[in-house]
Amino acid sequence: MDPKRIAFGSLLLSLLIVLGTCDFDRHSHSSSHMMHHMDSATNVFFVADDLKLGKTMPIYFPDGNPNPLSSPYLLPKYEADAIPFSLKQLPNILNHFSFPQDSHKAQVMENTLGACEAKPIEGETKICATSYETLIDFARKILGLETNIKVLSTHRPMRSNSAVLQNYTITEAPERISTPKMVACHTMRYPYIVFYCHSQEGDNRLHKTSLLGENGDRVEAIAVCHMDTSHWNRDHVSFRVLGIEPGTAPICHFFPAENFVLVPSTSSI
Ligand SMILES: *[C@@H]1O[C@H](CO)[C@@H](O)[C@H](O)[C@H]1NC(C)=O
């Protein structure tokens, strides 16, 4: 299979995982609830020509409130390394946290471990890091062993009450962040902080944008543009949403709130 084609599948998988991060502890998992999230997920795509000052477009930024299961503890490495982290060990992990085998939490943890153990696709490198040190080690392998690392994140300087699909206007000229490589991360639904991070080959360009929603919501969003879509699966949802054909225009998407991207600290705007 074509690497780019698979790579994009992984991007979507990531988006869906991200959308799932909002409700570890919520018990009403109706399928209509999930469908709503999946439909909204398509409202993060746009064409590169739209990345300009004054442009208005409908976007859905999930709340990104991470891990309400418990306080989102970041464990010290020695502690994280002492807790098993694999599907095979799930019964032991549940014992460790005193969660019943048939609970919603158990199901969510199984999903997280499953996503973490899924094989990386061609052209992709990924990890589920259970500690800060592990995250940084991974990032250095991608960005350069001697590299100092900078974190860029999509965040809301002024948090509005709830995430809604609404029109956002780009209020400042978007700035290209010049970097040869990047590692994109988000936290998974789990009883302690687990970073799902991955890096994809290809010409992917990062931009920093300032957005203002109709309800006053402000988002400082990182966007990535995939410059060559000619080998993407033509059935891909982004083509349907944007009404374009593969290879005709670079396709961009915003990173959901609370996602972050690691780049070398020398990367300039
Ligand atoms: C965004 O604005 C356009 C043009 O005014 C309008 O047609 C559309 O319904 C709006 N979308 C949302 C989600 O509010």
Is residue 54 in some structural domain?
yes
Q: Is the pLDDT of residue 12 over 60?
A: no
More confident residue, 247 or 114: 114
pLDDT interval class at 89 (50, 70, 90):
very high
Is residue 96 in some structural domain?
yes
Query: Which tens digits make up the pLDDT trace of 117-138?
Result: 998 876 789 999 999 999 999 9
Is residue 178 in some structural domain?
yes
Task: Give me the mean pLDDT over the 5-14 stretch.
Answer: 40
56 CA from centroid of ligand 1 (Å): 9
Is residue 98 in some structural domain?
yes
What pLDDT score does 64 carry?
56
Return the amino acid letter for 230: S
Query: CA 127, CA 115: separation in Å to the nearest integer?
Result: 10
Is residue 242 in some structural domain?
yes
48 CA from centroid of ligand 1 (Å): 20
What pLDDT score does 13 carry?
39
Number of domains in the chain: 1
The answer to which of 57-71, 97-111, 251-265 has the lowest mean pLDDT is 57-71
Residue 169 Cβ < 6 Å to ligand 1 = no
206 CA from centroid of ligand 1 (Å): 26
Task: Give me the mean pLDDT over the 185-207 stretch.
Answer: 90
Is residue 269 in some structural domain?
no
3-state secondary structure of 225: strand
pLDDT interval class at 19 (50, 70, 90):
very low
Query: CA 254, CA 224: separation in Å to the nearest integer?
Result: 7
What pLDDT score does 63 carry?
66
Residue nearest to atom 1 of ligand 1 (CA): 167
Share of the chain above pLDDT 70, in %: 78
Average pLDDT, the chain: 80
155 CA from centroid of ligand 1 (Å): 23
Q: Ligand 1: which of 50, 167, 168 to mutate, judged by most atoms within 8 Å of the beta carbon?
A: 167
Domain that holds residue 14: 3-264
Query: CA 255, CA 263: separation in Å to the nearest integer?
Result: 15
Query: Which tens digits make up the pLDDT trace of 202-249?
Result: 888 999 999 999 988 899 999 999 888 887 778 878 888 888 998 898
What pLDDT score does 160 carry?
61
